Chains A and B, each alone.
Chain A
Amino acid sequence: MNLSFNWLHDYIDTDKITDVKKYCDRMTDTGSKVEGYEVLAGDVTNVKIGKVVAMERHPDSDHLWICQIDVGAEAPIQIVTGAQNVFVGAIVPAAVAPANLPEGKQIKAGKLRGVDSNGMLCSFGELGLTSHDCPGKEENGIWILDECYGQYLGQDVCDCLLIRDTVVEFEITSNRPDCLSVIGLARETAASMDLEWHVPPVSVKGTGDGDSIDNYLSVGISAPDLCYRYAAKVVKNVKIAPSPDWMRMRLRAAGVRPINNIVDITNYVMLEYGQPMHAFDYKQIEGKAINVRRAGDGEVFVSLDNISHTLDSSMLVIADQNKACALAGVMGGLNSEIENDTVTVVFESACFSGPDTRVTAKKNGMRTESSARFEKGLDPENCLPGLMRACQLVEMLGAGDVVDGLIDVYPGKKEQTILPFTPEKYNKFLGTEIDEQTMIDILATLECRVQDGKIYVPSFRSDLGCMQDIAEEIVRIWGYDKIPSSCIKAETTQGMRTPKQKLFVATEQLMYGMGISQIQTFSFISPKYYDAIALPADSALRTSVVISNPLGEDTSVMRTTALPSLMEVLQRNNNFSNQNVRLFEMATIYLPDADPALLPEEKTVVTIGMYGDADFYCMKGAVENLLKMAGVKAPVYTACTENPSYHPGRCATVTTADGKYLGVFGQIHPVVADNYGMNIPVLCAEIDFDALFAVCNTEPDYKPLPKFPAATRDYAFVCEEELEVGKIMSVIAKAGGTLVENVELFDIYRGEKLGAGKKSVAFRVTLRAADRTLTVEEADKISKKIINDLKFKLGIALRA
Chain B
Amino acid sequence: MKEMLNQIRATALEKIAAGEDLEQIRIQYLGKKGELTAVLRGMGKLTAEERPVIGQLANQVRADIEAAIAEKAEALKAGALAEQLKAEKLDVTMPGKTMRVGHVHPLTRVQRDMEEIFIGMGFSIAEGPEVEYDLYNFQKLNIPENHPARDTQDTFYITDNILLRSQTSPVQARTMEVQKPPIRIISPGRVYRSDAMDATHSPLFHQMEGLVVDKGITMGDLKGMLETFAKAQFGEETRCRFRPHHFPFTEPSAEVDVSCFACGGKGCRLCKGEGWIEILGAGMVHPNVLSMCGIDPEEYSGFAFGMGIERIAMLKYHVDDIRLFYENDVRFLEQF
Min C-beta distance of B85 to chain A, whole Å: 34
Question: Closest residue of chain A to B136, judged by CB?
Answer: A599
**Is B246 a contact of A173 with CB atoms below 8 Å?**
yes
Top 5 nearest A-B pairs by Cβ distance? A431-B220, A515-B100, A431-B218, A31-B244, A472-B252
**Is B333 a contact of A519 with CB atoms below 8 Å?**
yes
Residues of B within 8 A of A496 (CB): 119, 124
**Is B182 a contact of A490 with CB atoms below 8 Å?**
yes
Known: A466-B251, A511-B102. A578 touches B223 (CB 8 A): no
A572-B102 Cα distance, complex, nearest whole Å = 18
Q: Mark B189-230, 1 if CB is under 8 A from A, else 0.
A: 010101011000001100000001011111111011101000
**A475 lies within 8 A of chain B by Cβ:** yes
Q: Could you list 21 examples of A-B contacts with CB < 8 Å?
A: A29-B244, A429-B219, A472-B244, A475-B219, A483-B242, A485-B223, A487-B221, A493-B182, A494-B124, A508-B108, A518-B105, A520-B107, A520-B108, A521-B328, A547-B158, A547-B164, A548-B158, A551-B197, A569-B328, A573-B328, A578-B331
Question: Closest residue of chain A to B214, judged by CB?
Answer: A490
Q: State the main secondary structure of chain B at its contact with A.
A: mixed
With A430-B252, A486-B224, A599-B162 already in contact, 16 other A-B pairs whose C-beta atoms are closer than 8 Å: A29-B243, A431-B218, A431-B221, A471-B251, A472-B251, A475-B252, A484-B223, A488-B221, A488-B225, A490-B214, A492-B122, A495-B120, A512-B103, A524-B203, A573-B330, A597-B162
Contact residue among A429, A569, A600 (Cβ-Cβ distance under 8 Å from B284): A429
Residues of A within 8 A of B147 (CB): 174, 355
**Is A429 a contact of B105 with CB atoms below 8 Å?**
no
A596-B131 Cα distance, complex, nearest whole Å = 12
Interface size class of B (residues with CB under 8 A): 35 or more
Residues of A within 8 A of B317 (CB): none
Q: Name the interface residues of B232-286: CB closer than 8 Å to any CB of A.
A: 241-246, 248, 251-255, 284, 286
Q: Name the interface residues of B94-151: CB closer than 8 Å to any CB of A.
A: 99-105, 107-108, 112, 115, 118-125, 129-133, 144-149, 151
Min C-beta distance of B23 to chain A, whole Å: 36
A564-B148 Cα distance, complex, nearest whole Å = 37
Q: Name the interface residues of A449-491: CB closer than 8 Å to any CB of B.
A: 466-469, 471-472, 475-476, 480-481, 483-491
Known: A521-B328, A573-B330, A600-B131. A30 touches B244 (CB 8 A): yes
**Is B219 a contact of A431 with CB atoms below 8 Å?**
yes
A522-B115 Cα distance, complex, nearest whole Å = 22
**Is A466 a contact of B287 with CB atoms below 8 Å?**
yes
A475-B283 Cα distance, complex, nearest whole Å = 13
A429-B241 Cα distance, complex, nearest whole Å = 20
**B83 lies within 8 A of chain A by Cβ:** no
**A497 lies within 8 A of chain B by Cβ:** yes
Residues of A within 8 A of B122 (CB): 492-495
Enumerate chain B interface residues (CB-CB to A < 8 A).
99-105, 107-108, 112, 115, 118-125, 129-133, 144-149, 151-152, 156-159, 161-162, 164, 182, 184, 190, 192, 194, 196-197, 203-204, 212, 214-221, 223-225, 227, 241-246, 248, 251-255, 284, 286-287, 301, 325-331, 333-334
Min C-beta distance of A606 to chain B, whole Å: 13
Question: Closest residue of chain A to B223, judged by CB?
Answer: A485
Most buried by B among A356, A485, A597, A600: A485
**A583 lies within 8 A of chain B by Cβ:** yes
Known: A512-B103, A548-B157. A490 touches B244 (CB 8 A): no
Residues of A within 8 A of B325 (CB): 520
Question: Closest residue of chain A to B104, judged by CB?
Answer: A518
**Is B220 a contact of A485 with CB atoms below 8 Å?**
yes
Residues of A in contact (CB 8 Å), total 89
**Is A546 a contact of B243 with CB atoms below 8 Å?**
no
**Is A551 a contact of B333 with CB atoms below 8 Å?**
no
**Is A588 a contact of B184 with CB atoms below 8 Å?**
no
**Is B184 a contact of A495 with CB atoms below 8 Å?**
yes
Known: A359-B146, A516-B102, A583-B330. A497 touches B219 (CB 8 A): no
A481-B251 Cα distance, complex, nearest whole Å = 16
**A233 lies within 8 A of chain B by Cβ:** no
**Is A545 a contact of B221 with CB atoms below 8 Å?**
no
**Is B220 a contact of A430 with CB atoms below 8 Å?**
yes
Residues of B within 8 A of A174 (CB): 147-149, 151-152, 246
Question: Closest residue of chain B to A353, judged by CB?
Answer: B146
A374-B221 Cα distance, complex, nearest whole Å = 37
Min C-beta distance of A449 to chain B, whole Å: 21
Contact residue among A491, A517, A547 (Cβ-Cβ distance under 8 Å from B157): A547
**Is B158 a contact of A546 with CB atoms below 8 Å?**
yes
Residues of A within 8 A of B220 (CB): 430-432, 483-486
**Is A518 a contact of B108 with CB atoms below 8 Å?**
yes
Residues of A within 8 A of B152 (CB): 174
Min C-beta distance of B92 to chain A, whole Å: 24
A581-B334 Cα distance, complex, nearest whole Å = 11
**Is B190 a contact of A523 with CB atoms below 8 Å?**
yes
**Is A472 a contact of B253 with CB atoms below 8 Å?**
yes
Known: A508-B104, A551-B203, A573-B329. A495 touches B216 (CB 8 A): no
Contact residue among B112, B148, B330 (Cβ-Cβ distance under 8 Å from A375): B148
**A280 lies within 8 A of chain B by Cβ:** no
**Is B107 a contact of A173 with CB atoms below 8 Å?**
no
Question: Closest residue of chain B to A355, judged by CB?
Answer: B146
Min C-beta distance of A26 to chain B, whole Å: 11
**Is A468 a contact of B252 with CB atoms below 8 Å?**
yes
Known: A491-B214, A495-B122. A597 touches B159 (CB 8 A): yes
Question: Closest residue of chain B to A475, judged by CB?
Answer: B252
Min C-beta distance of A170 to chain B, whole Å: 13
**Is A495 a contact of B331 with CB atoms below 8 Å?**
no
Min C-beta distance of A655 to chain B, whole Å: 26
Known: A29-B244, A548-B159. A576 touches B252 (CB 8 A): no
**Is A582 a contact of B221 with CB atoms below 8 Å?**
no
Q: Name the interface residues of A569-585: CB closer than 8 Å to any CB of B.
A: 569, 572-573, 576, 578, 581-584
**Is B148 a contact of A376 with CB atoms below 8 Å?**
yes
Min C-beta distance of A611 to chain B, whole Å: 11
**Is A488 a contact of B149 with CB atoms below 8 Å?**
no
Min C-beta distance of A639 to chain B, whole Å: 28
Min C-beta distance of A262 to chain B, whole Å: 29
Residues of B within 8 A of A241 (CB): none
A98-B98 Cα distance, complex, nearest whole Å = 70
**Is A495 a contact of B119 with CB atoms below 8 Å?**
yes
**Is A521 a contact of B326 with CB atoms below 8 Å?**
yes
Question: Closest residue of chain B to A174, judged by CB?
Answer: B148
Residues of A within 8 A of B101 (CB): 512-513, 515
Residues of A within 8 A of B108 (CB): 508, 518, 520
Min C-beta distance of B32 to chain A, whole Å: 40
